[in-house]
Chains A and B, each alone.
Chain A
Amino acid sequence: AQKVTQAQTEISVVEKEDVTLDCVYETRDTTYYLFWYKQPPSGELVFLIRRNSFDEQNEISGRYSWNFQKSTSSFNFTITASQVVDSAVYFCALSEAGNQFYFGTGTSLTVIP
């Protein structure tokens, strides 16, 4: 079974629109960690955020915000006022304490100028 599901394969938005990338995870552990990574066309994965299972506070960093809801096992990522430089593949990942990452299949975001 897929531990991390990113149902949106591709999304296109026009510049300055807001966009939300969905991430649903599955785990039986009470301690786990969630991550978002950005992979621009250059190929390097860029770390965006890490959240542990005991901290459900939402987080905002500039135009980026994350909504963590344990009740629905979701960790969604919103980009406000999108820009062309936001065009990339975004991966959500889960780590169950002590072990490897489980990556979702990724969402390819295209921001159209």
Chain B
Amino acid sequence: DTEVTQTPKHLVMGMTNKKSLKCEQHMGHRAMYWYKQKAKKPPELMFVYSYEKLSINESVPSRFSPECPNSSLLNLHLHALQPEDSALYLCASSPGQGAYEQYFGPGTRLTVT
């Protein structure tokens, strides 16, 4: 099973809302990732968790707040977003960090109004 699941598939939120994106994997992977992807661009790394600890934070604004409750789950809490934050948010996991292939979820398409 090489499946990473993400919910919701689509999300529309106002700039004052608080929402969360969820990601789950049951492959026993110890590294999990959040990426942001704008149209016609490659994914941009936001955060990396390794063994449930935040390993990389790519200078992401504080309105994005990651959380790793356990080794299978990864959340991204959203608060006071801007319209330019509208994008496809992708979650990925890998057996470890760096040298391994990452398996991606289907993404959450976020629109901020």
**A residues adjacent to B (C-beta < 8 A):** 33, 35, 37, 42-47, 50, 52, 91, 95-101, 103-106, 108
A6 to chain B, nearest CB (A): 9
- The answer to whether B102 touches A101 (Cβ under 8 A) is yes
B58 to chain A, nearest CB (A): 8
B-chain residues with CB within 8 Å of residue A101 when the two chains form the complex: 45, 102
- The answer to whether A91 touches B42 (Cβ under 8 A) is yes
For chain B, the count of residues having a C-beta within 8 Å of the partner chain is: 23
- The answer to whether A43 touches B102 (Cβ under 8 A) is no
- The answer to whether B90 touches A105 (Cβ under 8 A) is no
A-chain residues with CB within 8 Å of residue B69 when the two chains form the complex: none
- The answer to whether A50 touches B101 (Cβ under 8 A) is yes
Top 6 A-B residue pairs of the complex, sorted by shortest distance between their CB atoms: A103-B42, A45-B104, A98-B98, A44-B106, A50-B101, A43-B107
B55 to chain A, nearest CB (A): 9
**B residues adjacent to A (C-beta < 8 A):** 2, 40-43, 45, 48, 56, 88, 90, 92, 97-107, 109
Given contacts A91-B42, A100-B56, A105-B41, contact A47 B101 (CB under 8 A): yes
B-chain residues with CB within 8 Å of residue A99 when the two chains form the complex: 97-98
Given contacts A101-B45, A103-B42, contact A47 B99 (CB under 8 A): no
- The answer to whether B107 touches A44 (Cβ under 8 A) is yes
A-chain residues with CB within 8 Å of residue B102 when the two chains form the complex: 47, 101
- The answer to whether B42 touches A105 (Cβ under 8 A) is yes
A28 to chain B, nearest CB (A): 16
Given contacts A91-B42, A105-B41, contact A43 B98 (CB under 8 A): no
B-chain residues with CB within 8 Å of residue A46 when the two chains form the complex: 104
- The answer to whether B105 touches A104 (Cβ under 8 A) is no
Report the separation of the CA atoms of residues A91 and B44 in the bound assembly, to the nearest whole angstrom: 13
Given contacts A42-B106, A43-B109, A100-B48, contact A35 B101 (CB under 8 A): yes
A40 to chain B, nearest CB (A): 11
